[in-house]
Amino acid sequence: MDWVTGCLKAFLVGGILCLIAQLLIDRTKLTPARILVIYVVTGVFLGAVGIYPALAEFAGAGASVPLTGFGALIAKGTAEAVREYGLIGALIGGLSSSAGGIAAALVFGFLACLAVKGKPLE
Protein backbone atom coordinates (compact mmCIF):
# COMPACT_ATOMS: atom_id res chain seq x y z
CA MET A 1 0.00 0.00 0.00
CA ASP A 2 3.02 2.25 -0.09
CA TRP A 3 2.20 3.48 -3.56
CA VAL A 4 -1.31 4.48 -2.51
CA THR A 5 -0.10 6.72 0.27
CA GLY A 6 2.65 7.95 -2.05
CA CYS A 7 0.12 8.93 -4.68
CA LEU A 8 -2.04 10.57 -2.04
CA LYS A 9 0.84 12.64 -0.73
CA ALA A 10 1.88 13.63 -4.26
CA PHE A 11 -1.69 14.60 -5.11
CA LEU A 12 -2.07 16.72 -1.98
CA VAL A 13 1.23 18.59 -2.22
CA GLY A 14 1.08 19.06 -5.99
CA GLY A 15 -2.57 20.07 -5.75
CA ILE A 16 -1.86 22.67 -3.09
CA LEU A 17 0.92 24.19 -5.20
CA CYS A 18 -1.43 24.41 -8.20
CA LEU A 19 -4.23 25.78 -6.05
CA ILE A 20 -1.99 28.63 -4.91
CA ALA A 21 -1.18 29.44 -8.54
CA GLN A 22 -4.86 29.36 -9.51
CA LEU A 23 -5.67 31.76 -6.68
CA LEU A 24 -2.91 34.06 -7.87
CA ILE A 25 -4.42 34.09 -11.38
CA ASP A 26 -7.96 34.63 -10.18
CA ARG A 27 -7.41 37.03 -7.32
CA THR A 28 -4.44 39.13 -8.40
CA LYS A 29 -3.44 40.94 -11.54
CA LEU A 30 -0.33 38.78 -11.98
CA THR A 31 0.05 37.46 -15.51
CA PRO A 32 0.69 33.73 -16.00
CA ALA A 33 4.29 34.42 -17.03
CA ARG A 34 4.98 36.27 -13.80
CA ILE A 35 3.46 33.50 -11.74
CA LEU A 36 5.74 31.01 -13.48
CA VAL A 37 8.78 33.12 -12.65
CA ILE A 38 7.63 33.51 -9.05
CA TYR A 39 7.32 29.74 -8.76
CA VAL A 40 10.76 29.03 -10.19
CA VAL A 41 12.44 31.64 -7.98
CA THR A 42 10.57 30.37 -4.92
CA GLY A 43 11.76 26.87 -5.76
CA VAL A 44 15.36 28.06 -6.05
CA PHE A 45 15.11 29.75 -2.68
CA LEU A 46 13.44 26.83 -0.93
CA GLY A 47 15.92 24.46 -2.54
CA ALA A 48 18.88 26.57 -1.45
CA VAL A 49 17.77 26.66 2.19
CA GLY A 50 17.06 22.94 2.15
CA ILE A 51 13.30 22.95 2.62
CA TYR A 52 12.41 21.75 -0.84
CA PRO A 53 14.50 18.58 -0.84
CA ALA A 54 12.67 17.54 2.33
CA LEU A 55 9.33 18.26 0.67
CA ALA A 56 10.36 16.28 -2.42
CA GLU A 57 11.36 13.40 -0.15
CA PHE A 58 7.87 13.48 1.34
CA ALA A 59 5.73 14.05 -1.72
CA GLY A 60 7.82 12.69 -4.61
CA ALA A 61 6.49 13.79 -7.98
CA GLY A 62 3.95 16.03 -6.25
CA ALA A 63 6.83 18.35 -5.40
CA SER A 64 9.28 17.71 -8.21
CA VAL A 65 6.90 18.05 -11.19
CA PRO A 66 5.50 21.56 -10.45
CA LEU A 67 7.66 24.50 -11.39
CA THR A 68 8.96 24.94 -7.88
CA GLY A 69 10.64 21.55 -8.35
CA PHE A 70 12.38 22.94 -11.43
CA GLY A 71 13.68 25.83 -9.33
CA ALA A 72 14.88 23.50 -6.60
CA LEU A 73 16.63 21.39 -9.21
CA ILE A 74 18.48 24.45 -10.50
CA ALA A 75 19.57 25.33 -6.97
CA LYS A 76 20.76 21.80 -6.30
CA GLY A 77 22.68 21.54 -9.60
CA THR A 78 24.30 24.93 -9.09
CA ALA A 79 25.46 24.03 -5.60
CA GLU A 80 26.95 20.75 -6.82
CA ALA A 81 28.69 22.33 -9.80
CA VAL A 82 30.21 25.04 -7.63
CA ARG A 83 31.60 22.33 -5.36
CA GLU A 84 33.06 20.50 -8.36
CA TYR A 85 34.27 23.30 -10.69
CA GLY A 86 34.56 26.26 -8.41
CA LEU A 87 32.77 29.54 -9.04
CA ILE A 88 32.30 28.86 -12.77
CA GLY A 89 29.97 26.10 -11.66
CA ALA A 90 27.38 28.75 -10.86
CA LEU A 91 26.95 29.21 -14.61
CA ILE A 92 27.15 25.51 -15.45
CA GLY A 93 25.15 23.75 -12.80
CA GLY A 94 21.70 25.22 -13.28
CA LEU A 95 21.29 24.17 -16.89
CA SER A 96 23.18 20.88 -16.70
CA SER A 97 21.06 19.59 -13.82
CA SER A 98 17.81 20.55 -15.57
CA ALA A 99 18.96 19.56 -19.06
CA GLY A 100 16.94 16.36 -19.00
CA GLY A 101 13.69 18.19 -18.29
CA ILE A 102 14.31 20.89 -20.86
CA ALA A 103 15.26 18.46 -23.61
CA ALA A 104 12.27 16.28 -22.77
CA ALA A 105 9.93 19.26 -23.08
CA LEU A 106 11.37 20.09 -26.51
CA VAL A 107 11.32 16.54 -27.83
CA PHE A 108 7.87 15.62 -26.59
CA GLY A 109 6.48 18.98 -27.62
CA PHE A 110 7.80 18.39 -31.12
CA LEU A 111 6.41 14.86 -31.25
CA ALA A 112 3.02 16.03 -30.02
CA CYS A 113 2.77 18.74 -32.66
CA LEU A 114 3.43 16.15 -35.37
CA ALA A 115 0.46 14.14 -34.18
CA VAL A 116 -2.18 16.75 -33.32
CA LYS A 117 -3.31 20.21 -34.32
CA GLY A 118 -4.16 22.94 -31.86
CA LYS A 119 -7.77 23.96 -31.51
CA PRO A 120 -9.80 26.02 -29.08
CA LEU A 121 -10.95 24.40 -25.88
CA GLU A 122 -14.40 22.94 -26.09
Partner 1 sequence: MIFGRKEWENALQRIFMDTAVGVIAGASVVGKKEKEGPLGALFDLHDPTGRFGQKTWESAESEMQRLAFNTALKKAGLRDSDFDLLFGGDLLNQCVGSAYGLCGFHIPYCGLYGACSTSAEGLILASLAITSGFATRTAVVTSSHYCSAERQYRSPLEYGGQRPPSAQWTVTGAGAFLLSRVSEELPPPTVFVTRVCPGRVVDMGIRDANNMGAAMAPAAVDTLLRFFSASGEHPTDYDWIVTGDLGFEGGAILRNLMEAEGFPLGENYRDCGQMIYRRKEQDVHCGGSGCGCSASVLAAHFLPRLANRKDRRILFLATGAMMSPDSIKQGKSIPAVAHLVEFSYYLPQNSDCGKERFSMDFKNQKEFPEARNNAGQGNDAAPAVPLAEGEGPLDGSTDADQPTDPALPSAAPDPDLQTTVSASPEWSKPTAPPPLTAVKTDHPSSEGGLLSHPSENDPPVVTEQAFRDDPDDAEPADGTEALRKRLPRGCDEDEGDPGDGAANAPGEIPTEGC
Q: Which is nearer to partner 1, 17 or 55 (CB)?
A: 17
C-alpha–C-alpha distance, residues 62 and 44, integer Å: 17
| Binding region for partner 1 (CB under 8 A) | 22, 25-26, 29, 31-32, 113, 118-121
Residue placing its CB nearer to partner 1 in the complex, 31 or 91: 31
In the complex, what is the shortest distance from the CB of residue 108 to partner 1, in angstroms, rounded to a whole number? 13
Q: How far is the CB of 106 from partner 1 (least distance, A)?
A: 14
State the minimum distance, in angstroms, from the CB of residue 7 to partner 1. Answer: 24
Q: Please answer whether residues 89 and 78 qualify as being in contact, where contact means their C-beta atoms are separated by less than 8 angstroms.
A: yes
In the complex with partner 1, which residue's Cβ is closer, 3 or 110? 110
Provide, rounded to whole angstroms, the least separation between the CB of residue 42 and partner 1.
18
